[in-house]
């Protein structure tokens, strides 16, 4: 027996919104289906129809728009990893997407789905947070608005985007420029291809000397009920010398402001705390080295595997 009665493939955003409106809450958006269909294995669907948004050309593009890099919500993780624009100007996102699932998952799963699923551990989402991303939401009637990404997260798996009535259409972040760079790292169980024990993303901008951090953004997951911006750690880094001691202290502050849980399938709270103390300073170090243009820290996306994106980097001693 099929789990839904109707399957729609609109070609435009207004058409998708019209279909959703027609079903009055009894239709649901689907993109790659890698979260939604897993969810359906656990409980029967509360909808009659699926609205597949992957044939809407507007949602499938990555482009530069003035200072912004704009990524359509139905762009796949594989497409993001392959994008020269993202690799160069939003490196943390390319790295985060490169470790999601395995190749089969990355070929169909989308960035928009990763965001709307709203898991505190979602790798693409953690990277977007450190890039200070915004999300564009299209509502019934066709109005669109840009909202800061954190406003979308209401709790574990709970999004402010109502996927029975609205569409997440795009994500955007400011391209990193001179003396600025981002990095992503995660710790993962070796036998797993889903969700990290810990993911960390960092964006830094250095001052003209390259010796001091002018601004920093730090995000972590899963360490709270929603994808988490470590604002205390960011404040600790702003104005600090670009040196190991500063990175270590930022991790100490992050440990105080977040609250990782013990999860049955992945790791204990204590292990996650140890990993914050270990991984966060390393990710900051790589972001700083990239902002300085140091060769050892160049992204090596080809070399990453799905266990950990971070084994590859070692600062020259
Ligand atoms: C084997 C496996 C491994 C995985 N590994 C990882 C991992 O390592 N890291 C990680 O972060 N995730 C992982 N995932 C989860 C998943 O692949 C990602 O979250 C993926 O990005 C979801 O995208 P999707 O297009 O498949 O979403 P879908 O399943 O199509 O949709 C997810 C949710 O978002 C809604 N939705 C989707 N797009 C939109 C939109 N544009 N507007 C409004 N609502 C929308 C849907 O209604 C649904 O509620 C894994 C999944 C599997 C099956």
Write out pLDDT tens, residues 187-230.
Answer: 987 666 678 899 999 999 999 999 999 999 999 999 999 999 99
Residue-level pLDDT at 42: 84
Asked whether 236 and 197 are in contact (CB, 8 A), the reply is no
Which of 20, 77, 105, 156 for mutating ligand 1's site (highest number of atoms within 8 Å of CB)? 105
Query: Mean pLDDT, to the nearest integer, of 171-184?
Result: 97
pLDDT(3) > 80: no
C-beta 152 within 6 A of ligand 1: no
- Helix (H) and strand (E) counts in the chain: 11, 14
Q: Which has the closest alpha carbon to 122: 91, 151, 101?
A: 101
The torsion angle over the Cα atoms of residues 258, 299, 285 and 131, rounded to 10 degrees, is -40
C-beta 100 within 6 A of ligand 1: yes
Q: By three-state DSSP, how is residue 70 classified? A: strand
Q: Which has the closest alpha carbon to 44: 98, 84, 3?
A: 3
pLDDT(317) > 90: no
What is the C-alpha separation between 303 and 285, in angstroms, rounded? Answer: 19
In the reported structure, the alpha carbon of residue 169 is separated from the centroid of ligand 1 by a whole-number distance in angstroms of 15
C-beta 40 within 6 A of ligand 1: no
**Confidence category of residue 307, pLDDT binned at 50, 70, 90:** very low
C-beta 193 within 6 A of ligand 1: yes
Q: By three-state DSSP, how is residue 158 classified? A: strand
Query: Mean pLDDT, to the nearest integer, of 286-308?
Result: 80
Range in 6-15, 185-194, 227-236 the model is least confident about: 185-194
Residue-level pLDDT at 193: 61
pLDDT(302) > 70: no
In whole angstroms, how far apart are CA 116 and each of 4, 227, 258, 275?
A: 21, 12, 22, 27
Residue-level pLDDT at 192: 60
- Which residue's CA is the closest to the ligand 1 atom numbered 10? 122
- Which residue's CA is the closest to the ligand 1 atom numbered 28? 33
Q: Dig out the tokens for 160 from the structure.
A: 């402010």
Range in 72-81, 186-195, 235-244 the model is least confident about: 186-195
Q: Which has the closest alpha carbon to 317: 298, 300, 296?
A: 296
C-beta 30 within 6 A of ligand 1: yes
Q: Dig out the tokens for 73 from the structure.
A: 């919500």
Residue-level pLDDT at 1: 43
pLDDT(47) > 60: yes
**Confidence category of residue 310, pLDDT binned at 50, 70, 90:** low
- As its CATH architecture, domain 6-52 has 2-Layer Sandwich (3.30)
Cis geometry, peptide bond prior to residue 241 (ω within 30 degrees of 0): no
Q: Is 93 exposed, middle or buried (0-12, 13-18, 19+ CB in 10 A)?
A: buried
C-beta 299 within 6 A of ligand 1: no
Q: Where are the domains of the chain?
A: 6-52, 58-174, 180-303
**Confidence category of residue 306, pLDDT binned at 50, 70, 90:** very low
Residue linked to tokens 């790798």:
123
pLDDT(287) > 50: yes
Mean per-residue pLDDT over the chain, rounded: 93
Residue-level pLDDT at 266: 85
pLDDT(52) > 90: yes
In whole angstroms, how far apart are CA 84 and each of 36, 218, 229, 308?
A: 29, 23, 26, 22
Asked whether 217 and 203 are in contact (CB, 8 A), the reply is yes
| Class of 180-303 in CATH | alpha beta
**Confidence category of residue 300, pLDDT binned at 50, 70, 90:** confident
C-beta 97 within 6 A of ligand 1: no
Residue-level pLDDT at 145: 97
Does residue 18 or residue 46 have the better pLDDT? 18
Q: Which CATH number is correct for 58-174, 3.30.465.10, 3.30.950.10, 3.40.710.10, 2.40.50.140?
A: 3.30.465.10
Query: Mean pLDDT, to the nearest integer, of 277-286?
Result: 97
In the reported structure, the alpha carbon of residue 114 is separated from the centroid of ligand 1 by a whole-number distance in angstroms of 4
Q: Dig out the tokens for 190 from the structure.
A: 């070796």
Asked whether 48 and 27 are in contact (CB, 8 A), the reply is yes
In the reported structure, the alpha carbon of residue 110 is separated from the centroid of ligand 1 by a whole-number distance in angstroms of 6
Residue-level pLDDT at 40: 86
Torsions phi, psi for 304 (to 5 deg): -75, 150
Range in 37-46, 129-138, 256-265, 295-304 the model is least confident about: 295-304
Residue-level pLDDT at 309: 52
């Amino acid at each position: 027996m099929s789990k839904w009665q109707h399957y729609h493939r609109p070609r435009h955003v207004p058409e998708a919104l019209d279909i959703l409106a027609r079903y009055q809450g009894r239709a649901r958006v689907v993109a790659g289906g890698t979260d939604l269909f897993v969810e359906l294995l656990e409980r029967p669907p509360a909808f009659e129809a699926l609205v597949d948004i992957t044939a809407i050309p507007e949602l499938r593009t990555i482009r530069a728009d003035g200072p912004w890099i704009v990524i359509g919500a139905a762009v796949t993780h594989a497409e993001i990893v392959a994008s020269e624009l993202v690799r160069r100007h939003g490196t943390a996102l390319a790295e985060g997407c490169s470790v999601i699932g395995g190749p089969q998952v990355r070929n169909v799963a989308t960035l928009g789905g990763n965001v709307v699923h709203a898991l505190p551990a979602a790798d693409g989402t953690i990277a977007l947070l450190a890039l200070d991303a915004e999300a564009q939401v299209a509502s019934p009637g066709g109005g669109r608005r840009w909202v800061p990404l954190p406003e979308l997260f209401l709790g574990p798996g709970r999004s402010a985007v109502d996927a029975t009535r609205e569409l997440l259409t795009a994500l955007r972040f400011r391209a990193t420029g001179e003396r600025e760079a981002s990095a992503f790292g995660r710790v993962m169980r070796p036998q797993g291809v889903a969700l990290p024990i810990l993911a960390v993303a960092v964006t830094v901008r250095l001052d003209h000397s390259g010796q001091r951090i002018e601004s920093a953004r730090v995000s972590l997951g899963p360490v709270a009920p929603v994808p988490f911006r470590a604002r205390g750690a960011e404040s600790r880094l702003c104005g600090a010398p670009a040196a190991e001691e500063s990175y270590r202290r930022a991790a100490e502050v992050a440990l105080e402001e977040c609250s990782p849980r013990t999860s049955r399938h992945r790791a204990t709270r204590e292990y996650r705390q140890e990993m914050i103390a270990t991984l966060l300073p390393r990710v900051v170090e790589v972001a700083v080295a990239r902002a300085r243009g140091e060769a050892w820290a160049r992204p090596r996306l080809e070399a990453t595997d799905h266990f950990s994106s971070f084994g590859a980097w070692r600062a020259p001693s």
